Amino acid sequence: MAERDRAPSSRVDVCVVGAGPAGAIVAARLAEAGHDVVVLDAGPRFDLEDRERQLDAHLRPGVESAGNRSAAGDGLWGMGGDRDAYTSSGDRHYPLNAARVKGLGGSTLHWQAMVMRLHERDFEMDSRHGVGVDWPIDYADLRPYYTEAERELGVAGADDNPFAPPREEPFPLPAFPPSHSDSIFAEACERLGLPTHSVPNARNSEPNDGASACVGYGTCKPVCPSGAKYTAERHVARAEAAGARVIDRAPVQRLAHDADAVDAAVYATPDGAEHRQEARAVVLACGGVENVRLLLLSASDAYPDGLANSSGLVGRYFMDHCFAGVGGRIDRPTRQNHVGFNTTECHALYDAEDPLPGVKLEFLNYAGPSPVIDALHADEWGDDLLDSLRDSYGTHLAVGGLVEQFPHADNRITLDRSTTDDHGNPVPDVEWSVGTETRRAIERANEVQRAILEELDADIDWVVGPDETGPAFHHMGTTRMGTDPESSVVASDCRAHDLDNLWIAGSSVFPTAGGMNPTLTIAALSCRLADRLDRWL
């Protein structure tokens, strides 16, 4: 294939850095509004035709996907090596590359696509509970953009959640039906007074927008071969159809600027050259870690502590969601692993009157071993293999949960100047710990999860509690929004306080994390940002 033209365009209206959901949505909406847009992304274009070969490589490690780096030894999506180097110096090691993807589509290439709205309380944690901070916007401000975001992502759902915030119209697509194991959990939860309800999913429950309905591969993470699951590639394609130029393998090295505005994004290309993409406005949309890194790498005489960092808060208040879970076995068929995503959850623990972090319970459709993967990797054959699979498969159940982290200034992203990437730039360092309030919330989640399994007479064989918890890889809070330039990085419209033409998209602007998967809120904020930037232009 001929080498792509990666030379810069003449000065454009908008340069978007990053082609994940935030950047792709902003680029598509601005291009469709008639603006001249260039998108720069550090990673490659992944071939949509290669997804089935990627699935084969996932099920049978060592099988390479012809012509595509994505199935090489550094993972299905090519993460690893000097390009993606990082360090972790916090109380707990943070495995940053376990869920990042650099490339068109970003982490939506391998996400599970669960998309919930934040609750009203999430925007008012200080006012309601005296913890964290309030957002400079409330749920009512974002409510119409949540509706737009659900349309943009093609969300399948039902208005059956008694705890959900108010909504104004039905979901774009009907909800997925409860799984067999969901029905088992529903019996126990009803007896315990824990209402269950459907999970909004950004995947097609019926054919939509030229893509098929979900056909049940069950491998949503790490790869959906059918195309039924939303990836930001859809918005990349929309942006290009509207005239935007999308340049892959073009990692931005720094933002050139004066004291008042950003002049250009300086990016590298595979041939070793550096280029300047000049623009009237720049939108940073490369995630809660790389947004910070790029701002800090852009330090200058005007901004010696990093661009847009007069508050000193760029990189501070890094948040994630922590996992809590309990699993076991029961003496009846559960049909585990028939569905690769969650279809039932419970928000009953979320809006408690006490100031504990929010907890969202998830009833896992993929508990226990996968019979396909077990069979492919087994040393046994024939009847012996069949007996082993019968013993290990079909009776597992598990209840998981996302647990909110409150913002703490000591959880942060900085530059590790002792370690450099493939361009000689300092790599990001992650300082991450789990606070006492999050530990208490995890313990509360475990108590309820254990009660559900005990109600089913399950033999509990594993518990993930506060000492074993890990991150959900939802990077939030490192360029928080607010009204005061001394205590925030961007204003309520996501424009940097310090520079007139720099905008930041994505979950790095979240002042608090809530306990809901962040992508729908990312999409809603991106729709809102695009509207404001359209008017500014």
Task: Report the CATH number that the domain containing residue 262 is assigned in CATH.
Answer: 3.50.50.60
Least confident of 106-120, 364-378, 395-409, 520-534: 364-378
- Greater confidence (339 vs 117) lies with 117
Encode pLDDT of 250-289 as tens digits.
Answer: 999 999 999 999 999 999 999 999 999 999 999 999 999 9
Does 392 reside within a domain? no
Number of domains forming the structure of the chain: 1
Looking at every residue in the chain, the average pLDDT score rounds to 92
At 378 the pLDDT is 61
Does 196 reside within a domain? no
> For 102-123, what is the mean pLDDT?
96
Q: Where are the alpha helices (DSSP H) in 100-179?
A: 125-129, 139-153
Does 136 reside within a domain? yes
C-alpha to C-alpha distance for 75 and 57, rounded to whole angstroms: 9
Structural domain span for residue 297 = 11-82+101-155+230-320+407-414+474-537
Question: For residue 121, which amino acid is it?
Answer: R
Does 283 reside within a domain? yes
At 65 the pLDDT is 43
C-alpha to C-alpha distance for 238 and 349, rounded to whole angstroms: 39
Does 363 reside within a domain? no
Does 19 reside within a domain? yes
| Highest mean pLDDT (candidates 212-221, 222-231, 244-253, 349-358) | 244-253
C-alpha distance from residue 510 to each of 32, 409, 473, 482 (Å): 27, 14, 15, 9
- Greater confidence (385 vs 486) lies with 486
Does 50 reside within a domain? yes
At 413 the pLDDT is 98
C-alpha to C-alpha distance for 466 and 446, rounded to whole angstroms: 9
